[in-house]
């Protein structure tokens, strides 16, 4: 099976993707939402851009003139459509606030530089006039990463990197490529395929996520067992900051002091704007095969997949849905309404040469059978067909009046079961106390020798104030994550949603250290203020 490599059209307002790919909920699922969750009827519809009222742009005339001189007047936009499309990201709160027609935090202007030097020029102007800057790529943040603090700033500038969309160099001998940050994952894969290579980064947001965003948030793709996380593939970074240029990475590994690349990876735009990154490549695989396996329980499945990732052979894709997610058939959104079956569904995928795929598949099959797993014909390819459809399903459920969102964490194998129970219980109790009992589903989709991630999907009936409803539940889940020793995010990032819990995770001294770095690179504090750091 081949990966999609052609970029999609621009997404529609307030939804994921394009209208042609929208999911229609089957009648039996709509009935289940009413009977099991008490969903009371359609949710608020997504408004048209023309129906929205925006605050008047507050960009000072002198700043506008300087920005136009820096990037060209045609790349400084204040029109309604552009400002609306650059307002916030794709978290549940982001989408619900748009449906409620709340756009008080729309950027005042959208600026699209076309080079590293133009980014530097924009940041100099913004520092001079104290304009908050929000680096903007694919707009796929689900943790409030595109919601800056406006207090203390005369305006907010969305700095759109999508004109920076070139493959700058492919070094076939070293198997690395230097990319500009505005390349979407499909664009990058399409261009690198022409050289016979792949990055191997296929997150659920694959259709729209940019490579710069992947580095800035430490993203992880669905093939992480075989390819590793995206940040593990980045070997070189160039960063434009209000104080100048930072260039990091002269070799794959170095003992020349602390690796400052790691400081910039996951920094979510608070230090500056990534203007190029160099990533390791792999040869395009000859084969891609996805198998589905049934196991009696989540616990049994964890033992089986842990054995694979610790002792081998290690497949490219490893994913395990718990009993509830398997019963709901959520692992295969394109097959909603099809009858589910008992136990837990594991997806095991293989990529590489025909010889390597055969050897890995044969070895993994032997391990899985020894652990009591049974092959589920067609389940693996069914998951692969629908692997990017989850966000479309969320839109359909919001239309129906359901509250649905995801959250994720990670920990060591020895703590995984406790974390799984603690977070699920916290979510269920919080929503039940609000009068909206929830369905809580979970899967493991990123596994390492020492531990794994947990990815929850939550569904309940919407209350009159669904944003506050979810924030209460998310806070309870976040408290449970910290108490159980998990990380507040495995791959979604910190943003504003996780900021307070991130501070608890790294401690007061850790926050002070990061603040000192920000003060050195961004003394005016204009870069994504309020994101990550309190």
pLDDT digits (tens, 9 = 90+) for 106-128: 999 999 999 999 999 999 999 99
Per-residue model confidence as pLDDT tens digits over 342-385: 899 999 999 999 999 999 999 999 999 999 999 999 999 999 99
Question: What's the pTM?
Answer: 0.95
pLDDT digits (tens, 9 = 90+) for 431-443: 999 999 999 999 9
pLDDT (tens digit, 9 = 90+) per residue, 381-418? 999 999 999 999 999 999 999 999 999 999 999 999 99
Rounded CA gap, 152 and 156, in Å?
11
How many Cβ atoms sit within 10 Å of the Cβ of residue 176?
A: 19
Residue count of the chain, please give it: 534
Angle (deg, nearest 10), helices 27-37 and 390-400 = 60
The string of pLDDT tens digits covering residues 440-457 is 999 999 999 999 999 999
pLDDT band at 5 (very low <50, low <70, confident <90, very high): very low
Q: What integer pLDDT is reported at residue 136 of this predicted model?
A: 98
Using the predicted structure, report yes or no on whether residue 144 has a pLDDT greater than 90: yes
Q: What is the pLDDT of residue 331?
A: 64
Mean pLDDT of the chain: 94
**CA-wise closest residue to 494 among 101, 209, 241, 219:** 219
pLDDT, residue 208, reads 94
What pLDDT does 276 receive? 98
CATH code of the region 287-385: 3.30.70.3450
pLDDT the model gives residue 41: 86
Q: Walk across the sheet containing 76-77 and list its strands.
A: 76-77, 109-111, 155-160, 131-136
Q: Which residue carries 């729309």 as its tokens?
A: 106
Q: What is the spatial distance between Cα 79 and Cα 8, in angstroms, rounded to a whole number?
A: 23
Give the whole-number percent of the chain exceeding pLDDT 70: 96
What pLDDT band is residue 521 in, cutting at 50, 70 and 90?
very high
Query: Binning pLDDT at 50, 70 and 90, where does residue 339 land?
Result: low
Question: Which residues of the chain does CATH 3.30.70.3450 include?
Answer: 287-385
Instruction: Decide if pLDDT at 7 tops 50.
Output: no
pLDDT of 476 > 50? The answer is yes
What pLDDT does residue 42 have?
A: 93
Confidence category of residue 29, pLDDT binned at 50, 70, 90: confident
Pick from 442, 419, 494: which is nearest to 144 by CA?
A: 494
- pLDDT value of residue 1: 39
Q: Please tell me the predicted confidence (pLDDT) of residue 262.
A: 95
Residues in contact with 68: Cβ distance below 8 Å, sequence separation at least 6, in sequence order: 76
Q: What gap in Å lies between CA 418 and CA 484, rounded to an integer?
A: 7
The stretch 224-239 carries a mean pLDDT of: 97
Model confidence band, residue 64 (pLDDT cutoffs 50, 70, 90): very high
Fold of 167-283: 3.30.465
What's the rounded mean pLDDT across residues 79-95?
95
State residue 333's pLDDT score. Answer: 63
Q: What is the pLDDT of residue 338?
A: 57
Separate counts of helices (H) and strands (E) for the chain: 18, 18
* pLDDT of residue 202 exceeding 70: yes
In percent, how much of the chain has pLDDT > 90? 89
Residues 288-337 have pLDDT tens digits of 999 999 999 999 999 999 999 999 999 999 999 999 999 987 666 666 55
Amino acid 6: pLDDT = 47
What pLDDT does residue 522 have?
A: 98
Angle of CA points 451, 456, 459, to nearest 5°: 170
Task: Delimit the CATH 3.30.465.10 region(s) of the chain.
Answer: 167-283
């Amino acid at each position: 099976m081949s990966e999609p490599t052609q970029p999609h059209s621009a997404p529609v307002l307030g939804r994921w993707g394009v209208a042609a790919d929208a999911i229609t909920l089957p009648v039996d699922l709509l009935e289940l939402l009413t009977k099991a969750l008490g969903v009371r009827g359609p949710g608020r519809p997504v408004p048209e851009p023309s129906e929205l009222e925006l605050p008047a742009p507050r960009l000072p005339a002198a700043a506008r003139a300087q920005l136009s001189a820096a990037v060209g007047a045609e790349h400084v936009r204040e029109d309604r459509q552009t400002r609306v499309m650059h307002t916030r990201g794709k978290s549940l709160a982001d989408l619900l606030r748009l449906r409620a027609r709340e756009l008080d935090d729309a950027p005042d202007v959208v600026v699209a530089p076309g080079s590293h030097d133009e980014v530097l020029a924009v940041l100099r102007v913004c520092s001079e006039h104290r304009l908050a800057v929000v680096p903007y790529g694919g707009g796929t943040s689900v943790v409030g990463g595109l919601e800056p603090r406006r207090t203390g700033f005369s305006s907010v500038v969305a700095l759109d990197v999508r004109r920076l969309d070139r493959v700058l160099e492919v070094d076939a001998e070293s198997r690395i490529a230097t990319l500009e940050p505005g390349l979407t994952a499909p664009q990058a894969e399409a261009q690198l395929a022409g050289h016979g290579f792949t990055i191997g980064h296929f997150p659920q947001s694959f259709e729209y996520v940019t490579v710069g965003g992947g580095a800035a948030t430490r993203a992880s793709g669905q093939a992480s067992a075989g390819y590793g996380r995206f940040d593990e593939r980045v070997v070189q970074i160039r960063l434009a900051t209000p104080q100048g240029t930072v260039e990091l990475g002269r070799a794959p590994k170095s003992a020349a002091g602390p690796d400052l690349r790691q400081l910039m990876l996951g920094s979510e735009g608070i230090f500056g704007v990534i203007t190029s990154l160099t990533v390791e490549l792999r040869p395009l695989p000859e084969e891609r095969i996805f198998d589905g396996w049934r196991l009696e329980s989540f616990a049994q499945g964890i033992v089986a997949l842990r054995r694979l990732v610790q002792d081998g052979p290690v497949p490219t894709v490893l994913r395990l849905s718990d009993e509830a997610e398997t019963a709901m058939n959520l692992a295969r959104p394109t097959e909603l309404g099809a009858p589910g079956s008992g136990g837990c569904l594991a997806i095991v995928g293989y990529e590489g040469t025909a010889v390597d795929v055969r050897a890995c598949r044969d070895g993994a099959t032997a391990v899985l059978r020894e652990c009591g797993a049974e092959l589920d014909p067609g389940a693996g390819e069914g998951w692969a067909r629908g692997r990017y459809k989850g966000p479309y399903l969320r839109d359909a459920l919001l239309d129906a009046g359901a509250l649905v969102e995801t959250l994720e964490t990670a920990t060591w194998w020895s703590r995984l079961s406790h974390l799984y129970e603690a977070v699920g219980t916290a979510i269920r109790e919080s929503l039940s106390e609000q009068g909206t009992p929830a369905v809580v589903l979970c899967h493991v989709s990123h596994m390492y020798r020492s531990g794994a991630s947990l990815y929850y999907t939550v569904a309940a009936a919407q209350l009159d104030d669904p944003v506050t409803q979810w924030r209460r539940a998310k806070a309870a889940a976040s408290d449970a994550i910290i108490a159980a020793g998990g990380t507040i995010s495995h791959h979604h990032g910190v943003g504003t949603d996780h900021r307070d819990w991130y501070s608890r995770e790294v401690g007061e001294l850790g926050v002070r250290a990061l603040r000192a770095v920000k003060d050195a690179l961004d003394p005016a504090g204009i870069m994504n203020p309020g994101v990550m750091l309190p």
